Structure 1
Amino acid sequence: MIPTYNISDFPSFQAIGSHFMLERFECLQRPPKLLWPHKHSFYEVMWLTSGTSTNVIDYHRVTVEPNMLFFISPGQLHLMNKAESVKGFPITFTEQFLLLNTPNRDAIKEFGFLDNSYASPSFKLDNCAVTELVPVLDLMLDEIVRPEKSSFIISNLLFVFLNRIQRLIDVDTPSARDLSNVVRYKQLKKLIEDHFEKEGQIGFYADKLNLTAHRINEICKRVTGKPLGEVIRDRILLEAKRLLVHSDQPIGQISDDLGFKDFSYFSRQFKRQTGHTPAEYRKQMCDQFQNW
């Protein structure tokens, strides 16, 4: 069973209930028996100022270096190796906290970088970007250490901070994404998350969003560079990986649970995408996690 941690599991004076925390890595208090890998119920923007840290996010390995932002979304599988030289700031928050002061419930969907299923989960800051972000970070740090800290002020500063990150990413990758497509894609991603085990047909998702199959495929390609069918297959593959590594279910049962009527077809598809049979992958990854 993969544990899911809340912000309140990391005790800190520099927190607002279970909705926001801004701490220094060197001062961060972790749960006494923190288990790796694990999931978060919150968003995290990790900003390293020194040291390096190797992270595995949903089985993709990323090395985070100084002045690099690293993004983790709720529900993603996260594994980080220990690095004593790491300094910087983990900024953690819930969707509820971010939307505290805006009537626009879709505002979080506008921050494409928070959903790293289609983009790199990290972003390297140049000197100009650091200069733009540091003043906002300093204001949040100044407010979070006050005895009577204001949720209103910090939520608004967080919104500014995330908007500046999005602007920096958009400048760096101008062809990245049209905002309306990002919002639509995030709605689609939520539907896939809820239905991928049973529904693999493009028409199902098009109907749910009141779009044509052509239009929903076009949005998917513009945002992720992949057609919708491939995005759905990627999500099924991710779930297969999670179950192979973190459950004792027989491989045939995993195949059935993910909607494959033919086990041999499941095995062929898995090997085509990973280069390993399900049994080989299970052994390889279990051995790897034991060595972390």
Structure 2
Amino acid sequence: MASISRSKLKVSADIPVHHLPQTDFYASYTDGIKLGEFGISHRIDFFAIIWFLEDAGLHYIDFEPYPIKKDMVYLIARNQVHSLPGDAPNARSIIFSKRFFDSIEDDDLRFLFAPFTNAGISLTNEQIEPLAYLFELMQLESKLQQGNRLLHLYTNAFLAHIQRLSHTSETTAAYQDERVRKLFELIGSHYKTQKFVSFYADQIGLTAKRLNQIVKEKLDLSVSQLIYNYTLIEAKREISHSVKSLKEIAIELGFREQSYFSRFFKKQTGYSPERFRQENP
């Protein structure tokens, strides 16, 4: 089986980054994926679908543990931090570049990779066989390297099956609302610099009060809590694997003072940034 050659680990502020070299798409079983060390926390510079084929303990997405179970699928977004301690379990992996991801036309399918919905999706017995066929077709087509047309068709079909299994998710249901979809897109792009609800409300064409009402009805959260979620995820990534000072991290995440950042982090996690860094080296 052809495999991706190991790319040199590039480091951004001491965080190992796994890159997808010289291709937009790759599908392989575990033994064909050689992008770097999976046992340590690493940021991925691509999107990944991991279909575990055996029970094998835990893996970590953005420092939260998730079970490795047979026929459980995880979708991991670009820039998320992942680690898979111990020997890599048998799995089917589908990985693709941001360019390939951006060309997926269905917003609902792209939203499956939202970085705050990381729980695994268990496949039903009825879906295992057709999804396995789709995976084999992806493998074949990615080896042929004759364009992405069929790869998009296969990927859309695969994700549509996954979406069917996750349709009961409150977040997925909320995303059917165009205003909520726009809000997530805006927060994902601006959370470091825009902390006020009024900015997002203006961009969507609503009052801050009405936007908060909609998000509360759909997700039982406030807009500020969504902004905090994005900020907290990136804070954990940077604190754990960055050589930057806490002051530098605070400024990059939009806090005027390190003290404000420290209070925010402790309120959200129960840990000071210093303690979190010590316990997540």
Shorter-normalised TM range: 0.7 to 0.9
Assess, with a 3 A threshold, how the Cα gap between structure 1 residues 266 and 158 changes in structure 2: closer, same or farther.
closer
Corresponding position of 1:121: 119
CA contact (8 A) 1:217 1:227 kept: yes
- Counterpart of 1:87, as a letter, is N
The 2-side partners of 1:262 and 1:244 are apart by 16
- Out of 41, 51, 54, the residue aligned to residue 37 of structure 1 is 41
User: Structure 1, unaligned stretches of length 5 or more?
Assistant: 9-16, 287-292
Report the Cα offset of residue 124 of structure 1.
1.2
Question: 1:245-256 to 2 correspondence within 5 Å?
Answer: 245-256=240-251
1:96 matched to 2:94? The reply is: no
1:274 matched to 2:257? The reply is: no
Q: State the SS of the aligned residue for 1:249.
A: coil
CA contact (8 A) 2:59 2:66 kept: yes
Report the Cα offset of residue 39 of structure 1.
1.9
Corresponding position of 1:153: 150
Report the Cα offset of residue 58 of structure 1.
1.5
After superposition, the C-alpha distances for 1:64-83 in whole angstroms (9 at most, x for unaligned) are: 21100011101112222132
Identify the range of structure 1 (62-71 vs 122-131) with the bigger mean alpha-carbon deviation.
Answer: 122-131
Q: TM-score, normalised by structure 1?
A: 0.78
Q: State the SS of the aligned residue for 1:211.
A: coil
After superposition, the C-alpha distances for 1:111-155 in whole angstroms (9 at most, x for unaligned) are: 4322141x233111121232442332233334345x465532222
Q: State the SS of the aligned residue for 1:238.
A: helix
- Counterpart of 1:125, as a letter, is L
Corresponding position of 2:30: 25
Question: 1:210-221 to 2 correspondence within 5 Å?
Answer: 210-221=205-216
1:5 matched to 2:15? The reply is: no
Q: State the SS of the aligned residue for 2:202.
A: helix
The 1-side partners of 2:242 and 2:98 are apart by 29
1:180 matched to 2:193? The reply is: no
1:69 matched to 2:64? The reply is: no
- Counterpart of 1:24, as a letter, is Y
- Counterpart of 2:223, as a letter, is L
- Counterpart of 2:132, as a letter, is V
CA contact (8 A) 1:244 1:278 kept: yes
Q: State the SS of the aligned residue for 2:244.
A: coil
Corresponding position of 1:49: 53
- Out of 128, 131, 138, the residue aligned to residue 130 of structure 1 is 128
Corresponding position of 1:14: none
Q: State the SS of the aligned residue for 1:235.
A: helix
Report the Cα offset of residue 240 of structure 1.
2.6
CA contact (8 A) 1:48 1:66 kept: yes
Identity %, equivalent residues: 25
The 2-side partners of 1:191 and 1:42 are apart by 20
Q: TM-score, normalised by structure 2?
A: 0.81
- Counterpart of 1:91, as a letter, is I
CA contact (8 A) 2:109 2:156 kept: no
The 2-side partners of 1:97 and 1:236 are apart by 26
Q: State the SS of the aligned residue for 2:212.
A: helix
RMSD across aligned positions (CA): 2.9
The 1-side partners of 2:276 and 2:50 are apart by 29
Q: State the SS of the aligned residue for 2:193.
A: coil
Assess, with a 3 A threshold, how the Cα gap between structure 1 residues 204 and 22 changes in structure 2: closer, same or farther.
same
| Number of aligned residues | 268
CA contact (8 A) 1:53 1:81 kept: no
Report the Cα offset of residue 177 of structure 1.
0.6
Assess, with a 3 A threshold, how the Cα gap between structure 1 residues 98 and 232 changes in structure 2: closer, same or farther.
closer
1:112 matched to 2:111? The reply is: yes
Assess, with a 3 A threshold, how the Cα gap between structure 1 residues 271 and 179 changes in structure 2: closer, same or farther.
closer
Assess, with a 3 A threshold, how the Cα gap between structure 1 residues 22 and 108 changes in structure 2: closer, same or farther.
farther
